[in-house]
Structure 1
Amino acid sequence: MSLPRTAVAAAATTAALLVLGSPPAAADELQGPAGGPGGTDGRFFLTVSGAQNTWIRGVQLSCPDAGGHHPHASEACTTLHRAKGDPGRVTGAAGHQCTREYDPVTATAEGDWNGRPVVWHKTFPNPCALDAATGPVFRF
């Protein structure tokens, strides 16, 4: 007996919230006061899912110690530090070219940065566009 995809996606989201203990916030919006000066202090549960939640994968990323299970943790932490913990401010590599294939993927980041809760998600037209826009952060 297999579980419906929505049940699997809901279970993954619930597990992420329980692991991180972050309060919910609006998508594409950061809440709370600005982080402390010069510190890179964050913990995220990052996910990437296919169209209509046909598949989902996720990893935990902890900064500054580049902990968690992210295969490019150090680079992802550096990138998020430059963006002040806001995945929406991450800039990918210039000149990264992608095809116009439409195979949407949704990226999410839930956790905290310098004590500030972060909940962010965005849908990209395909995995290449995600990689071009977010660099190593969602490269897992």
Structure 2
Amino acid sequence: MRYITGAVAIGAALVLGALSTTAQAAAAPAQPARTGGLYAPTEMVLTIGQGDSRASATALRAATLSCMPKATGSHPYAQAACAQLHTVAGDFTKVTEAQGQRICNKIWAPIVVTADGVWQGRRVSYTHTFANSCEMTAGKSSVFEF
């Protein structure tokens, strides 16, 4: 009988210990997921390369661009680039197809621009090939001006 009483006491102690641990875990406030604050993430790596395609291009320059909560990164005109992307709701096609008043020659010396990262929480992987560097700079784009 003495062994039974001891076993019941040990069992009760284990149950009470488990209950107190569960109660402490339930009472602790849930930690919010770390998402970087109130803003959807907007961070990209932009590149300019020479070649016909992303796969065969030789990288010439690269810059980082973060637009939330403020424009930062290694991009020299980060504020203007973020403002332009906000204007077109992150549509890089509208950025690269912006036509300027500049007349360019028809020499084929392709320049490839890429944008990889996240725009307002949405994954971005964009590539565009210009016929030459004149056509790339002829548009009114500050996004790929670095």
Length-normalised TM-score, structure 1: 0.64
Alignment-derived partner of residue 113 in structure 2 = 107
The alpha-carbon distance between structure 1 residues 131 and 106, as it changes in their structure 2 partners (threshold 3 A), is same
Identity of aligned residues (%): 35
**Alpha-carbon RMSD:** 2.1
Tell me the equivalent position of 1:68: 73
Q: Which residue of 2 aligns with 1:13?
A: none
Counterpart position of 1:28: none
Q: Distance in 2 between matches of 1:63 and 1:118?
A: 14
Structure 2 residue runs without a partner (length 5+): 1-38
Question: What letter is aligned with 1:47?
Answer: T
Count of aligned pairs: 102
- Measure the CA separation in 2 of the matches of 1:89 and 1:55: 23
Matched, 1:47 2:51: no
Q: Higher RCO, 1 or 2 (CA under 8 Å, sep at least 6)?
A: 1
- Supply the distance in 2 between the matched residues of 1:61 and 1:124 (Cα, whole angstroms): 21
1:127 is aligned to 2:133: yes
Are the counterparts in 2 of residues 86 and 118 from structure 1 also a CA contact under 8 Å?
no
1:138 is aligned to 2:144 = yes
CA contact (8 A) 2:43 2:118 kept: yes
User: What residue is the counterpart of 1:56 in the other structure?
Assistant: 60
Structure 2 partner of 1:80: 85
Aligned to 2:20: none
For structure 1, the 5+ residue unaligned runs are 1-38
Q: Which moved more, 1:75-84 or 1:52-61?
A: 52-61
Name the SS for the 1:89 alignment partner. helix
The code of the aligned residue for 1:75 comes to A
Query: Separation in 2 of the partners of 1:72 and 1:85?
Result: 16
* In structure 2, distance between residues paired with 1:101 and 1:68: 33
Distance in 2 of aligned mates of 1:46 and 1:63:
13
Q: Any idea what SS the aligned residue of 1:131 has? A: helix
TM-score of the aligned structures, taking structure 2 as reference length: 0.62
Aligned to 1:76, the other structure's residue is in SS state helix
Distance 1:66 1:93, change over 3 A: farther
